[in-house]
Amino acid sequence: MRYLCSYIGLAAFLGCVAAQKGSILIGGALTPQVTWIGFAESEERSKPTPSFGLGAMGRYGLSDRLSLGVDLLFSLQAQQEKKEVIRGGSSYKYKSRETCSYLKLPIQAVYALGSGNAGIELMGGLQPMILISGKYKTTITSPDGSKETEEGSITEGLNSFVLGAVAGAGLRVGLSDNLFFAPQLRFDHSLTNIYSDNDSKGRTGTVALLVGLYY
């Protein structure tokens, strides 16, 4: 909770400064992405799992090249595992998937390179993540082809607030006087534990192609 309060205070302060000094752009984005979840103190890692996100973007101009980016993104963080398990001399196929829904609130410093209608943008900052829900689904396929499925919630085992870092690069292309196309490649990774049990040290990360429009 102390991280969340500090972040809200910082975002409010920077937002007030930006609103007083510069222009404001707002827009929306769709983010096809690859996510993973792993344990920080072991070699156990999930395979990168395709997922998606979407949300709103805000940009506050502080100068000709420097701006403040504040976004509100819904993101599905996922991990999946496939393996074969030998029981009594028979081979069983095991498939599991965990999906955690987060509300991401990245606040970034954005520096623009170039001039005219097209330019390159470099960005980086902090990204709080607020947990919405967590669930799992496990399927075991027997040698005869029959399947046994189990699913349920894992929300109680996850921290409701996670602090992360985010960095990226992208383009901003002017389509008209007021409309901008902004494709970005972003990487984010949690800095604090995603699990509520301190005996489990977990992290989650994302590589995303963010495709957005600013107005």
DSSP H or E stretch at residue 208:
strand 202-214
Give residue 24's domain range: 2-73+102-130+165-214
Domain membership flag for residue 143:
no
CATH number of the structural domain spanning residue 171: 2.40.160
Count: domains in the chain: 1
In a domain, 147, yes or no: no
Taking only the tens place, the pLDDT of each residue in 4-22 is 454 444 444 444 444 444 5
pLDDT for res 38: 73
Q: Structure tokens of 196?
A: 């509520």
**Within a domain: residue 116?**
yes
For residue 102, the cross-strand partners are 75, 131
**Contacts made by residues 80-89, CB under 8 angstroms, sequence distance 24+:** 80/46, 80/47, 80/49, 81/46, 81/47, 85/140
Q: pLDDT, tens digit, for every residue of 138-181?
A: 999 998 889 999 999 999 889 999 999 999 999 988 898 788 89
Q: What pLDDT is stored for residue 113 in this prediction?
A: 93
The answer, yes or no, to whether residue 60 has pLDDT greater than 70, is: yes
**Is residue 41 situated within a structural domain?**
yes
Task: With respect to residue 80, please indicate whether it lies within any of the assigned structural domains.
Answer: no
| pLDDT at residue 215 tops 90 | no
